[in-house]
Structure formats: C-alpha cells, structure tokens
Copies of this chain bind each other. A is one copy, B any other.
Amino acid sequence: MKTLLATTAAIGMMMAGILAATSHASEPAATPASPVYGVTLPQGYRQWELIAPALEDAPLNELRAVVGNAVAVDAYHRDSQPFPDGTVLVKLAWKRQPSAEFASATVPGAATTVQVMVKDSRKYAATGGWGFGRFVNGQPADEAQHRTCFACHEARAKGHDYVFTRYAP
C-alpha cells in the first residue's frame, strides 16, 4: 500500500515535472485554486525565508527550495509541531543542470512545479490539517494529482506533522 501510494505520488510529480516550465518570478495577482483543497499560490512567496534546499534524483532530477511564511519560520525556530494554523510552506523546483562555469556544480535550470502546503486544522481536518496545491506555470495540476499529496505525506512524514522539510541550520 505504502509502495503503491509512493509510486502514485512519484508518477504524479513526474507528470507535473514533464509539463511546460513555469516562471516563479511572475506571480499573478490572483491565481486559480487547486482542486480538492482550494489552495492558491500565496502572494510574495518568492521573497519568503528559505527553510531548506534539496535535491531530487532521477527521474525528476530537480533542485528544490522550500520557503515559508512568518508563521512557518517561527514554528521552525521554536521546533514546534504541529505547525499552527496559518503556516504556509512553498516548495519551488527547477530542473537540475550542470553549471557552465564550475564542473562540480549543479544549478537550477527551468522551473518545473511550485507546491504549496497550507495549515488550517479545521478546514483540512481530513488531511492532517493541511491543504495542498501543486502548480505548473501558475496553473494548478489536476484533481488526480492532488489526490496523491496527503497519502504520501501521511505515509512518510506523519511524525513531523506531515512535513518533510526541516529548517537548514
């Protein structure tokens, strides 16, 4: 079951990755909401504090960076889980590519997905208090993809309030 869920999630993430590249820099004033959860891309997230970078190996081959709003950052600093209502985490992702200038370095290429987690313990009580949104080029992915989010977070990160990312020291 765990494997099936993980596989489903991986396929969903891969599909999102294959779609056209997005630009994180251009944040529209109002963005469409994700299916299932009604989560939108938060305003100004590109300026939010870095929680941690990450690398995702093949088949995605992405560099990632998770950023958080002030509520999220404060919760991380207090090492306080569950995260309080109002926590918003955004994961930016880019295809990895070799640096043209430094052979041992890998740098971001085209943007792929922007993924959002919003904590609202009442609204999202059925999914651990979290609402999810996965966006490609500013547009939410389909319902099938959004059905995979919580299952994977529940299977693998329940002990950290369903959040994979730790604050990079």
A residues engaging B (CB < 8 A)? 10, 21, 23-25, 46-47, 49-50, 52-58, 60, 63-65, 67, 77, 92, 94, 96, 99, 101-102, 104-108, 110-111, 156-157, 164-169
Contacts and interface: CB of A to CB of B under 8 A. Distances in A.
Given A55-B63, A55-B106, A57-B106, 7 more contacts: A50-B67, A53-B108, A54-B105, A54-B108, A60-B104, A65-B168, A94-B169
B53 A64 contact: yes
Contacts of A47: 49
A56 B104 contact: yes
A92 to B, nearest CB: 7
Contacts of A64: 53
Given A23-B169, A169-B111, A54 B63 contact: yes
Contacts of A56: 104-106
Contacts of A111: 168-169
Nearest to A76: B25
Contact of A166 (B57, B102, B107, B167): B107
A108 B167 CA distance: 9
Nearest to A13: B104
7 contacts: A24-B168, A50-B50, A52-B108, A57-B105, A92-B168, A101-B157, A102-B164
A160 to B, nearest CB: 8
